[in-house]
Amino acid sequence: MPTTWQGQFISAAEPSEAGDPAPYFRREVEVGTGLRRATLHITALGIVEAYVNGTRVGDEVLAPGWTSYNHRLHVCTHDVTALLTAGTNALGAVVAEGWAVGELTWDLKRHVYADRPALFCQLELEYEDGRTEVVSSDSTFRVGTGPVRTAGIYHGETYDARLESGWAEPGFDDSGWAEATPYEWDLATLTDTGTDPIRRIEELPVVAITTSSTGTNIVDFGQNLSGWVRLTVTGEAGQTVTLRFAEILKPDGDLERETNRTAQATDTYILRDGEQTWEPGFTFHGFRYVEVEGWPGELDPAALTAVVTHSDMTRTGWFETSNPLLNQLHANTVWSMRDNFVGVPTDCPQRDERLGWTGDLNAFAPTASYLYDVRAVLGSWLADLAVEQQASGSVPWVVPDVLGHASAPTGLWSDVAVSLPWALYSEYGDLEILRRAYPSMVAFIRQVEGDLDETGLWADGFQFGDWLDPDAPAGNPSNGKTNPNLMGAAYLCRTTRELADTAALLGETTDAEHFGALADTVREAFRREWVTASGRLANESATAYALAIVFGILDPDQLAKAGDRLAFLVREAKHRISTGFAGTPLVTDALTLTGHLDDAYRLLLQTECPSFLYPVTMGATTIWERWDSVMPDGTVNATGMTSLNHYALGAVADWMHRVVGGLQRVEPGWSRIRIAPQPGGDLSSAKSSHDTVLGRAESAWSLSGRELTVTAVIPDGASAEVVLPQHPDGLVVEVGPGEHSWSYEIPEPEVPSEFTMDTKLGEIAKVSELWVAVAAVLHSHYPQIPLDDAGAHVAGMSLNELVSRIPMANPRLADELRETLAGFAPQV
Catalytically annotated residues: 353, 625
CA distance 449 to 518: 8
Q: Which residues contact 706 (CB under 8 A, 6 or more apart)?
A: 745, 746, 748
* H or E segment and range at residue 327: helix 324-340
* Coil/strand/helix, residue 494: helix
789 burial type by CB count under 10 A (0-12 exposed, 13-18 middle, 19+ buried): buried
The amino acid occupying position 281 is: G
Residue 191 CB neighbours (<10 A):
16
What CA dihedral angle connects 100, 106, 107 and 109, to 10 degrees? 10
* Coil/strand/helix, residue 795: coil
* Coil/strand/helix, residue 509: helix
**Distances from the Cα of 661 to the Cαs of 79, 333, 425, 656, in angstroms?**
44, 16, 23, 6
CA distance 610 to 418: 31
CA distance 24 to 167: 8
CA distance 219 to 228: 13
540 burial type by CB count under 10 A (0-12 exposed, 13-18 middle, 19+ buried): middle
| Start-to-end Cα distance in the chain | 82
CA distance 549 to 570: 15
HSE-up of 497 (CA within 13 Å, CB side)? 14
Q: Which residues contact 262 (CB under 8 A, 6 or more apart)?
A: 106, 108, 154, 351, 352
* Coil/strand/helix, residue 666: coil
Point out which residues pair with 150 in neighbouring strands. 158
**Distances from the Cα of 384 to the Cαs of 67, 112, 520, 657, in angstroms?**
7, 16, 31, 30
CB 746 within 8 A of CB 706: yes
CB 743 within 8 A of CB 731: no
CA distance 707 to 657: 22
What order do you get walking across the sheet with 663-665 strand by strand? 663-665, 672-675, 719-723, 732-735
* Coil/strand/helix, residue 302: helix
**Distances from the Cα of 255 to the Cαs of 292, 550, 590, in angstroms?**
10, 43, 41
Q: Which residues contact 487 (CB under 8 A, 6 or more apart)?
A: 411, 412, 463, 465, 466, 543, 544, 547, 582
Q: Which residues contact 663 (CB under 8 A, 6 or more apart)?
A: 657, 673, 675, 688, 689, 690, 697, 698, 699
Integer Rg of the chain from CA: 30
Closest CA to 47 of 107, 126, 101, 7: 101
In the 8-state DSSP scheme, what is residue 751?
-
